[in-house]
Amino acid sequence: MSFVTTADGTRIFYKDWGSGRPVVLSHGWPLNSDSWEAQQLFLANNGYRVIAHDRRGHGRSTQTWHGNEMDTYADDLAALLDHLDLHDVTLVGFSTGGGEITRYIGRHGTARAAQAVLVSAVPPLMLQRADNPGGVPIEVFDGLRAGSLGDRSQLYKDLADGPFFGNNRPGATVSQGIRDAFWRQSMAAGHRNAYESIAAFSATDFRGDLAKFDIPTLVIHGDDDQVVPFEVGGMASSALVKGARLIVYPGAPHGITDTHKQQLGDDLLAFLSSFEETA
């Protein structure tokens, strides 16, 4: 197993598959790098070096007491890129991971990055507040916090069986295996880490970070996302990144890394190829 140790002694687990120009995948809450398995294998089989890490407090990384917020997540990602000395990287972030790569660019710039992809991502700002009236009410996130403290195992089952994969929609065919994998990964996260991460993904304002994007950016979002609504996430972010390309998956839920594996893989591959064509 491969780890990088950050400045505060945290061990960050990562998988490093394939060879070629590097792609780094950042996962959603409260999952880990296993949630990227389909895309990691697909892209590695198509000529890329694909790295996916477990965020601190998640999966096989250290369950730290502190640092469960976006600045530290971004600094941990920087430590990984520095450790592997990666260049011309395509950063791909799903949901909370979209926040992580966005804050990374905001804090560390794009010296190592060539492209960015936001998939069902939380930027620019999920939480409803006076300067973000279209956001998600805080009661939604307070409900997640209450569920996490009360019975987080059942919370994760309810998310997997309902809104995360759109399994609460008529005609949904999300397998029990996919839902079980969500629960398994979620329970591997530290209790405190996952709890504090709710504030990290919901209340962090990424608008200033998005303004610093100066690399080709692709935004992918389902228009039936019940976790990060399309208008709050993909549509808003694509409007804030100069030159960003937006791809909307009609009727798609939040968890498109599982429900739309082939389509997502094909769109990522096409975007990656566009860099080689212009290099």
Catalytic positions are: 95, 225, 254
Q: What angle do CA 182, 28, 152 make, to 5 degrees?
A: 50
- In order, the DSSP letters of 172-213 are ----HHHHHHHHHHHHTS-HHHHHHHHHHHHH---HHHHTT-
Cα-based distances in Å from 130 to 71, 144, 233:
23, 22, 17
Determine the Cα–Cα distance for residues 268 and 265; give it in Å rounded to an integer: 5
HSE-CB for 177 with a 13 A CA cutoff: 2
Buried b (16+ CB within 10 A) or exposed e, 98-117: bbbbbbbbbebebebbbbbb
H or E segment and range at residue 155: helix 138-161
Main-chain dihedrals φ then ψ at residue 106, nearest 5 degrees? -65, -35
HEC secondary structure over 220-261 = EEECCCCCCCCCCCHHHHHHHCCCCEEEEECCCCCCHHHHCH
What is the residue whose two structure tokens read 């504030």?
Answer: 199
The answer to whether 259 and 151 are in contact (CB under 8 A) is no
DSSP bridge pairs for 52 = 15, 25
